[in-house]
Amino acid sequence: MTPTFVEIADGVHVLRYPLLDVNVTLVVGDGAALLVDTLSTAAQARELVAAARAVTPHPWTIVNTHHHFDHCFGNPVAAGDPPAEIVAHEQTALLLRDGADAVRREAYEEMLPLDGALAAQLAGAPVLAPTRTVAQRCTLDVGGRRVELAHLGRGHTAGDLVAHVPDADVLIAGDLVEEGAPPAFRDSFPLQWPETVAALLRLTGPGTTIVPGHGAVVDETFVRAQHADLVTLEWLIRDGYGDRVPAERVAARAPFGTDTALPAVRRGYAELDGRT
């Protein structure tokens, strides 16, 4: 089935791509648009562009919420020729510009046990780095609509960026929020993630629609519940480190399940050791 965008608020559309259940958001203004994330491969990005063009003919700016392949390896196709402006946090831009080989290698290693064909594509994928960076906050004018970009702190990665569309009461959270699967901790900062999500929640209200990086759109209640689990995980890591408990034992008691939590505990221990 060809993926399509679904309108979730006035002029705000979400495409939920089946592979990896990843979300792309399209914000349409008067004569301009904003595309948030670009999927994993050139082939996926071509499907994405076709779906977006079924919604709007307007030129777009691209935002990458972070540097992971499933959110930005579609940049070369989605940006077009001449390429559209691509906006991301400065740490994301650095990784995609100077660390592209490492990002490709990590993508390949992550996907190889799950999907060998996709892993092979990722290993040789061209990477188009962002052309404009955000340190903390900036505001984009998308055809007369204000879209506020914010780096609220480190969490899923060092360079997470959220996009807030105030006139539609929509917040695009990237992988700071996950639905349908647990958060991913491979590149995370689990001791800082809870405060970052707390800052995200300060941008929301009871009626806010929140687009997670993966899965169905959610509301404030869902994010508060996930925040509570992240807080529990943080304090289990701090207590376990203080009591010199092996990471495996802490992970067995943590939210999200042992296999998911173990990388978080190891990352948290490394941070407390001063190794990250």
- pLDDT per residue as tens digits for the range 135-151: 999 999 999 999 999 99
Is residue 132 a contact partner of residue 199, using CB atoms and an 8 Å limit?
Answer: no
In this prediction, residue 274 carries a pLDDT of: 84
- pLDDT per residue as tens digits for the range 81-128: 999 999 999 999 999 999 999 999 999 999 999 999 999 999 999 999
Residue 162: domain span: 5-220
Task: With a cut of 90, say whether residue 276 has pLDDT above it.
Answer: no
For the chain, the average pLDDT equals 97
The reply to whether 267 falls in a domain is no
CB neighbour burial string for 89-124, b if at least 16 within 10 angstroms, e if fewer: bbbbbbbbeeebeebbebbbebbeeeeeebbebbee
The reply to whether 9 falls in a domain is yes
Residues sharing a CB contact under 8 Å with residue 1, sequence separation 6 or more, in sequence order: 18
The reply to whether 266 falls in a domain is no
The reply to whether 18 falls in a domain is yes
Task: Give every strand in the sheet of 132-134, ordered side by side.
Answer: 5-9, 12-17, 22-28, 33-36, 60-63, 86-89, 132-134
What are the structure tokens assigned to 42, written together?
């050139």
Task: With a cut of 80, say whether residue 4 has pLDDT above it.
Answer: yes
- pLDDT per residue as tens digits for the range 241-274: 999 999 999 999 999 999 999 999 999 999 999 8
CATH number of the domain bearing residue 12: 3.60.15.10
The Cβ of residue 239 has, within 10 Å, a number of other Cβ atoms equal to 12
Residue 248's identity, in one-letter code, is: E
In this prediction, residue 190 carries a pLDDT of: 98
The reply to whether 232 falls in a domain is no
**How far is it, in rounded angstroms, from Cα 226 to Cα 256?**
10
What's the total number of domains in the chain? Answer: 1
